[in-house]
A and B are shown apart, each in its own frame.
Chain A
Amino acid sequence: MGLLALGTALDWPDAQKHANQVREWGIKQLLEIWNKAKHKEHDAMLWGDEIEYLVVKYCKDEPKVLLSLRQADILKALAADEELSDKGGCVPALQELESQRLNPLPVFHPEFGRFMLEATPGKPWGIGFKELLGVEPDMKNRRKIAKEHMQPEEYPITLTTFPRLGVPGVFTDPYYPPSGPKLRSQFVPDEIANPHIRFPTLAANIRWRRGRKVQVNVPVFHDKNTPNPWKDPTVNYDLHNWPEDDDVRNGAAPDNFIHMDAMAFGMGSCCLQITFQAKNIIEGRRMYDQLSPIGPIMLALTAATPIYKGFLADTDVRWNQISRAVDDRTPEELGEKPLKTSRWRIPKSRYASNSTYISTDERLRQEYFDPNLVIDEKIKAELLEGGMDDRLATHFAHLFIRDPIVIFSEDLKELDLTKADHFENIQSTNWQHMRFKPPPPGSDIGWRVEFRPMEIQITDFENAAFAVFMVLITRAILSFDLNFYIPILKVDENMETAHARDAVLEKKFYFRKNPFPNRPVRSSATSRSGSPTTSRPPTPFGPVEDEYTLMSVDEIINGSSSDEHSFPGLVPIVESYLDSVNVDVQTRCELSSYLDLVRMRASGELWTAAKWIRHFVDEHPGYNHDSAVTDEVNKSLVSAVIDIGDREQEGKGWKDLPIPNIEHLLGRFRTTGGCGS
């Protein structure tokens, strides 16, 4: 999450009055940053991953698994330990001290949910191929350290969502009743959110701006004993604590949907996010664009979210639920009422897929843009006047159509151009599937791009595999100058498609047929000046519709050579990249196991976590085939996930673990304790 400055957070009516000021100052800060960093060059490829955990309280003898709300205490324990180790106080051997200096301890961060924890590596990763092999052990170490600072019955697990978040009765430890003043949720207590003033204010002001509670409705999965129509039995229509309790009486909870009403249902999801540092702004913008069309594919491929609020959902991923959970649009912006006080209709939530491309790549055709993109023309004009080019100015003028949600009154006194707080206020509450990150002022960090769509995986082996795969695909994109452009609206469509149950095998996605660049033309054949890259012949563009087609995830990832189209496949592209570089046998072997996982998930040889969880529930003796995931089933599931994690920590692999279908999820990976042994 973003900055956690302390201060006096304004309620929405006050915040709204200062929205323009924050935007104006934010734009001034952006221009300052951009002017200072636009010529920043030759930055190394550094990257980082973020792993988010749920903290559960699991005890063999208790009938229920609960979410632990001790985030603050756990972070305190971790911080205290870090201080100790900094002083060298409790480090037994000098050697260990040395290795810690080289490999700094991971960093733990608070997250929105009070039952969540985020961990990042102690320092960014480079691109040495051997270094990539350090990712998985580091992730395992993070999990180990996190566990060591918890109570014996607490476990950090990497399910995207807690299956029984928001069920009636007790699902947290300690218990708090729902229907608090900030969230006004009938399902979750205010105490579900991180108590730092930023988080409850964020939730409250989103609700306030919107004029009602958020509506997170996800279609229920109809099993053989599920009534049709199905009415969410957990909805209370007789609650009268807050005006927003009318929402459900006004149709907020339609038939056949699992109804949720608070930010925690979305922002309480765990993701696997990767951030890459680019060589310069040009490369950053290029990576942003080229990774955009890959986003929905990776979302479908990492699908891990089939359960909400104790029911099987008919979708497999978290994305739209988060999108709805932070949707602050007014009825006017949503198009439900004619525009009166709102400035424009806005087609998407602030958490949504990207809406525009930003690269200076000559292959970026006008036809790929959304002709109806909503932007703040005044802000765009200001950015253009400040010297920014049209495309980038358009991007930021689009992000800046949003209001700042959380404003601290202390920050409104004076504009500090050496900071980025106002810019970040808008930037970091635009949760798009890619994020283009300017260098933080006063740092040596370069232009960065964050890839945000992937779902967290149950094991660190899988998380490392997907992270490393993304790193390698960016290197292949840059080396081979690949081109994945399709119209941005098709990326939106793909994002929706990725939600379907088993979309990875059942659905097709728009993808570009030919990802290769045109061969550069010899300079000496055309003219006697100019570099070969600038003297490409004017390629005749065909219709945009001919450039892409519908492909399965398997075709996109593993390639296809059907009669209609042949596509090389992202994994073969990465392999070709690896064939062209110096890699030692051991490293290549380890990297191959990551590529194998990606390959097998795409082909269906292995199951996504979503599919595995569905089967787990379906085959559980306590499941009545009525879509309901009971405490009993939930406990078995979490217990299985804990066992899988323990096995991973022991380095023994999962092959003979007595968990149903474990071989379909993880195959034979890591059974021999690694490669070559």
Chain B
Amino acid sequence: MTRIILSTGNVILDGPSIIRKPGTYRSNLELTNSLRNNISAAQKEYAFAFQNGNGHASHAGQNGQNGHSNGRPAPEVWTEREGSTLYVPRIDWESAGLQEDRSQYEITVKLFFLPIAPPEKRLDYIKEALRLVKRELGVDDVDLLIASFPGLAFEGDCEWEADRKNATMGNDEEEVTTWGLLEKLYHQGQIKRLGIAEFGTEKLRRFLDKVKVRPAVNQINIRNCCNVPPPLSKLAKEEGIELFTHHDSTDVLPSGTLRELLGQGPQGAGVLADGDPNSSGLKGEIIPEWVVKYTAFVKNRGVIENKGYFASAETVEET
């Protein structure tokens, strides 16, 4: 079993992958594009460093054994293994950290729990995601953590309908249990405010009945942002919950996308093996576990200094 930690680096300077194409609405393209860009940049840069005698990698890539037919460098050159964890690509911790005092920033983290990952592991997911974000930004706490649960959406041509449909989505019990884990971190001061995403009126009401720490924020994704269903805005107002907008896809990293990204295909990174028994790379099924998006925003200047993603997936070899 290998845990793969994917990272994008700071995507704010990676224009084309995060600027919305004219006419597109919401998508997970930002994550997959920036992962792909970061991987291909790492492949080029580490391969270059390696060729120039500056690399840390072994002999890999020099002979045919680990080399790849399409000329991409061997994963050993540009990824890094730490025990059972594989960093894809190798993370450049040297450029971690923020330019100004912590107090200048509003740090927002959105943690996506992905659909096929086992909910009982969420404590580990939360810890690992926060560990990575804190290390990347060089901070001890975050200002807002928004939990995005699988299976929730705010979809429909009419926002009323979206709100009604939403009531039966997700899994209340799991969500409340996970929330309890986040509440602990909140009480420890690691997270200053907690939020949720895509909770419609009914679902939010039920949630509020069961949790101790109330969410400060509910992020919703509606096509025309002028059309918040009035019951939802009323409830949010009464409960002091801010309704934020977003354009993230809930299923931000489907396993098919991940397999394509890491596989042996022409667009792939060559980390995962394909069906061929002689193929190099990690074998077995891949299960996306979580994705975390982080943003460091300089409050009094309105400037986004750092934005990026980490994603985690587990490979499970069939026995």
Binding site for B on A (CB under 8 A): 42, 44-45, 126-127, 279, 475, 478-482, 515-517, 519-528, 531-532, 558-561, 568-569, 572-573, 575-577, 579-586, 588-589, 592, 675-676
The answer to whether A45 and B225 touch (CB under 8 A), given A519-B41, A559-B22, A572-B19, is no
- Cα–Cα distance between A561 and B144 once the two chains are bound (Å): 37
Bitwise interface map of B from 29 to 63 toward A, beta carbon under 8 Å scored 1, else 0 = 00000000100011001101100001000000000
Q: Are B19 and A573 in contact (CB under 8 A)?
A: yes
Bitwise interface map of B from 286 to 305 toward A, beta carbon under 8 Å scored 1, else 0 = 00000000010100111111
The answer to whether A480 and B15 touch (CB under 8 A), given A44-B301, A526-B45, A580-B304, is yes
- Cα–Cα distance between A579 and B110 once the two chains are bound (Å): 13
Q: Given known contacts A42-B104, A44-B300, A524-B94, what 10 new A-B pairs fall within 8 Å (CB)? A: A480-B12, A525-B45, A531-B95, A561-B21, A568-B22, A572-B21, A576-B20, A580-B307, A581-B297, A676-B227
Q: Are A582 and B297 in contact (CB under 8 A)?
A: yes
The 3 tightest CB contacts between A and B, nearest first, are: A516-B15, A127-B302, A525-B45
Contacts of A525 in B (CB 8 A): 42, 45-46, 48-49, 92
Stretch at the interface among B172-180, B244-252, B266-274: B244-252
B residues 138-156 near A (Cβ < 8 Å) are: 144
Q: Verify if B202 is at the interface (C-beta below 8 Å from A).
A: no
* CB-based nearest B residue for A672: B226
Q: Are A482 and B15 in contact (CB under 8 A)?
A: yes
Q: Are B244 and A480 in contact (CB under 8 A)?
A: no
The answer to whether A568 and B19 touch (CB under 8 A), given A582-B106, A583-B245, is yes
Q: Verify if B161 is at the interface (C-beta below 8 Å from A).
A: no
Give chain A nearest CB distance to B27 CB in angstroms.
Answer: 11
Which of B21, B104, B220 has the most CB atoms of chain A within a 10 A radius of its CB?
B21
Give chain A nearest CB distance to B190 CB in angstroms.
Answer: 19
Q: Verify if B100 is at the interface (C-beta below 8 Å from A).
A: yes
- Cα–Cα distance between A523 and B94 once the two chains are bound (Å): 7
Contacts of B95 in A (CB 8 A): 520, 522-523, 531-532
Q: Are B304 and A479 in contact (CB under 8 A)?
A: yes
Contacts of A527 in B (CB 8 A): 54
Q: What are 26 A-B pairs with beta-carbon distances under 8 A?
A: A42-B104, A45-B302, A127-B300, A127-B301, A480-B19, A515-B15, A519-B13, A521-B41, A521-B45, A522-B9, A522-B46, A524-B94, A525-B49, A526-B49, A526-B54, A532-B92, A568-B15, A575-B20, A580-B18, A584-B244, A584-B245, A585-B225, A585-B228, A586-B243, A588-B225, A589-B225
- Cα–Cα distance between A130 and B292 once the two chains are bound (Å): 27
Q: Are B244 and A585 in contact (CB under 8 A)?
A: yes
- Cα–Cα distance between A559 and B14 once the two chains are bound (Å): 18
- Cα–Cα distance between A522 and B9 once the two chains are bound (Å): 9
- Cα–Cα distance between A580 and B100 once the two chains are bound (Å): 20
The answer to whether A579 and B302 touch (CB under 8 A), given A525-B45, A588-B225, A589-B226, is no
* CB-based nearest B residue for A41: B100
Q: Are B14 and A519 in contact (CB under 8 A)?
A: yes
- Cα–Cα distance between A525 and B79 once the two chains are bound (Å): 12
Q: Are B295 and A580 in contact (CB under 8 A)?
A: yes
Q: Verify if B167 is at the interface (C-beta below 8 Å from A).
A: no
- Cα–Cα distance between A210 and B61 once the two chains are bound (Å): 74
Q: Verify if B4 is at the interface (C-beta below 8 Å from A).
A: no
- Cα–Cα distance between A287 and B45 once the two chains are bound (Å): 31
Bitwise interface map of B from 96 to 108 toward A, beta carbon under 8 Å scored 1, else 0 = 0000100010101
Bitwise interface map of B from 193 to 217 toward A, beta carbon under 8 Å scored 1, else 0 = 0000000000000000000000001
Q: Are B226 and A582 in contact (CB under 8 A)?
A: no
Give chain A nearest CB distance to B133 CB in angstroms.
Answer: 16
Contacts of B144 in A (CB 8 A): 582
Contacts of B104 in A (CB 8 A): 42
Contacts of B92 in A (CB 8 A): 522-525, 532
Q: Verify if B114 is at the interface (C-beta below 8 Å from A).
A: no
Bitwise interface map of B from 59 to 95 toward A, beta carbon under 8 Å scored 1, else 0 = 0000000000000000000000000000000101111
Choose from A478, A520, A586 the contact partner of B10 (Cβ within 8 Å): A520
The answer to whether A558 and B22 touch (CB under 8 A), given A525-B46, A525-B48, A525-B49, is yes
Q: Verify if B239 is at the interface (C-beta below 8 Å from A).
A: no
Q: Are B16 and A516 in contact (CB under 8 A)?
A: yes
* CB-based nearest B residue for A581: B297
Contacts of A577 in B (CB 8 A): 304
Contacts of A584 in B (CB 8 A): 242-245
- Cα–Cα distance between A556 and B284 once the two chains are bound (Å): 48
Contacts of A589 in B (CB 8 A): 225-226
Give chain B nearest CB distance to A250 CB in angstroms.
Answer: 54
Contacts of B9 in A (CB 8 A): 522
Give chain B nearest CB distance to A275 CB in angstroms.
Answer: 15
Contacts of B37 in A (CB 8 A): 519
Q: Are B244 and A582 in contact (CB under 8 A)?
A: yes
- Cα–Cα distance between A481 and B41 once the two chains are bound (Å): 19
The answer to whether A561 and B22 touch (CB under 8 A), given A478-B301, A579-B246, A589-B225, is yes
- Cα–Cα distance between A365 and B233 once the two chains are bound (Å): 51
Contacts of B42 in A (CB 8 A): 522, 525
Which of B92, B100, B144, B233 has the most CB atoms of chain A within a 10 A radius of its CB?
B92
Q: Verify if B126 is at the interface (C-beta below 8 Å from A).
A: no
- Cα–Cα distance between A391 and B16 once the two chains are bound (Å): 31
Q: Are A585 and B94 in contact (CB under 8 A)?
A: no
Contacts of A573 in B (CB 8 A): 19
- Cα–Cα distance between A532 and B95 once the two chains are bound (Å): 6
Contacts of B303 in A (CB 8 A): 45, 475, 478-479
- Cα–Cα distance between A481 and B306 once the two chains are bound (Å): 12
- Cα–Cα distance between A42 and B105 once the two chains are bound (Å): 13
Q: Verify if B111 is at the interface (C-beta below 8 Å from A).
A: no
Contacts of A572 in B (CB 8 A): 19-22
Contacts of A569 in B (CB 8 A): 22
The answer to whether A279 and B49 touch (CB under 8 A), given A525-B92, A589-B226, is no
- Cα–Cα distance between A676 and B22 once the two chains are bound (Å): 25
Q: Are A475 and B20 in contact (CB under 8 A)?
A: no
- Cα–Cα distance between A480 and B104 once the two chains are bound (Å): 19
- Cα–Cα distance between A90 and B242 once the two chains are bound (Å): 38
Q: Verify if B222 is at the interface (C-beta below 8 Å from A).
A: yes
Which of B13, B37, B220, B305 has the most CB atoms of chain A within a 10 A radius of its CB?
B13
Q: Are A583 and B244 in contact (CB under 8 A)?
A: yes
Contacts of A676 in B (CB 8 A): 226-228, 233
- Cα–Cα distance between A279 and B108 once the two chains are bound (Å): 22
* CB-based nearest A residue for B24: A572
Give chain B nearest CB distance to A677 CB in angstroms.
Answer: 9
- Cα–Cα distance between A522 and B43 once the two chains are bound (Å): 11
Contacts of A522 in B (CB 8 A): 9, 41-42, 45-46, 92, 94-95
B residues 115-173 near A (Cβ < 8 Å) are: 144
Choose from B13, B100, B217 the contact partner of A480 (Cβ within 8 Å): B13
- Cα–Cα distance between A522 and B245 once the two chains are bound (Å): 33
Which of A478, A525, A575 has the most CB atoms of chain B within a 10 A radius of its CB?
A525
Give chain B nearest CB distance to A124 CB in angstroms.
Answer: 12
- Cα–Cα distance between A584 and B42 once the two chains are bound (Å): 36
- Cα–Cα distance between A182 and B186 once the two chains are bound (Å): 72
* CB-based nearest A residue for B50: A525
Which of B18, B21, B90, B226 has the most CB atoms of chain A within a 10 A radius of its CB?
B226
Q: Are B295 and A581 in contact (CB under 8 A)?
A: yes
